[in-house]
Amino acid sequence: MFRKYKLKNFNFFLVFLVVTLNIIGILVIGSAEKSVQNKQILGMALGIVLMLIFAFLDYSVVLRFYWVGYLFMMVTLVLVYRFGETVNGAKRWLDLQIFQFQPSDLAKILLILFYAQFIMKYKERLNTFRTLFFAVVFALPPIILVYKQPDLSTTILLGLILCIILFVGGINWRIIAGVFAIAVPAMLIFLSIIMQEGQTLLTAYQRSRVMAFFDPEAYAETIAYQQLNSVIAIGSGQLWGKGLNNNVITSVKNGNFLPEPQTDFIFAVVGEELGFIGSAVVIVLLILIAICCVSCARYAKDVAGMIIASSVGALIGIQGFMNIAVATLLMPNTGLTLPFVSYGLSSLVSLYIGIGFVLNVGLQRRSQYNL
């Protein structure tokens, strides 16, 4: 299970990027909500330990139990659906007394691992109707359960990750073109339907988030409240920001105009207190982490390794983009955390586990690159 690796193949630079971004996140969280900073530090410590364990644990051995991971994912999602704790109208958490566990965060990693082995096993028949049919069928239960929480943003994210997995796995470009030919008109029809009063595709709250994006001023005191204040906070930081833990009276954060700033809208705190420079550093770190993961995929020993590394990189990149886009009013409010920055133990630890698998993929690079 544990193999002998060449330490020079260990991606210390990726670890440095992740830890640096996480430390920045802890500092900003401490400024946004001091009471949860110690929990985030604990999450970082646990995440690093698990990252190192999975970094030296042969992913090929772990993938043999891909059905166990899939069943665990399904059980936890069903438990949330039946017994989950409801917060702000969404049932996404399991109360484990010590902390709240959000299974959808771990589901992102488990789904990547499941499909890495699934495609590895059926790669020669990937472009057949039967294989693609089952590939979609296995994805539907967890996606539907996440959608029912309701969590539309994570549902969309899981769908995008599945598309990336199939692309990296070697799906035929003709199939991709066919999917786009159907998906684009379907998306336009979907948008036109949800704009209508009385539609049933989205809940009233989800629809109001979409409407608030198109007409934020009309929802300035309700749904668009956080996003509008987020934009003001980011702009007020100017070049260098107002400083962490500042007592500036005109601060949007200090005035409590950003409810729960340590989670979904942590980037607003980054922009206000660290300014353009700090925001740029966070964005660059996210981009570099995603690039390092994708770069690792180039040297993977097999298709499963390629899928793991590229999909984890895509997950971090896409989720980071969506969170920042929400904070800057470039897309409707989604509720996704900013990877390694936002407060949330489930998200943080799950992402560290994902990075651990990427590191192991790098340690088992193909022989021609194992110099």
Per-position pLDDT tens, the chain of length 371: 566 778 888 999 999 999 999 999 999 999 888 888 999 999 999 999 999 999 999 999 999 999 999 999 999 999 988 887 776 667 787 877 666 788 899 999 999 999 999 999 998 888 888 998 999 999 999 999 998 887 888 888 998 999 899 999 888 878 778 777 877 787 777 777 766 776 666 666 666 667 666 666 666 566 677 788 888 889 888 999 888 888 887 788 777 777 778 888 899 999 999 999 999 999 999 999 999 999 999 989 999 999 999 999 999 999 999 999 988 988 887 778 999 999 989 999 999 999 999 999 999 887 555 55
Burial class (CB in 10 A: 0-12, 13-18, 19+), 244: middle
Give the C-alpha separation, 130 to 122, whole Å.
11
For 19-57, letters b (16+ CB in 10 Å) and e give bebbebbbbbbbbbbeebbebbeebbeebbebbeebbbb
Q: Yes or no: say if 211 and 194 are a contact pair by the CB < 8 Å rule.
A: no
Domain boundary assignment for the chain: 7-365
Question: Pick from 354, 317, 367, 351: which is nearest to 62 by CA?
Answer: 354
Give the C-alpha separation, 250 to 233, whole Å.
10
Residue with tokens 């950003």: 258
Side chain identity, residue 217: E
CA 285 to chain centre: 15
What is the structure's pLDDT at 225? 73
Give the C-alpha separation, 60 to 343, whole Å.
32
Residues 6+ apart with CB under 8 A from 323: 264, 267, 334, 336, 337, 338, 339, 342
Peptide bond into 150 cis (omega under 30): yes
Cα dihedral 110→306→162→152 (10° resolution): 60
What is the structure's pLDDT at 198? 66
Residues 6+ apart with CB under 8 A from 239: 275, 276, 277
What is the structure's pLDDT at 256? 76
Cα distances (angstroms) measured from residue 356 to each of 56, 109, 318, 349: 8, 11, 19, 11
Give the C-alpha separation, 297 to 308, whole Å.
8
What is the structure's pLDDT at 126? 85
SS3 content of the chain, % helix, strand, coil (to 5): 70, 5, 25
pTM: 0.91
Please state at what angle helix 12-32 crosses helix 345-363, rounded to 10 degrees.
Answer: 170
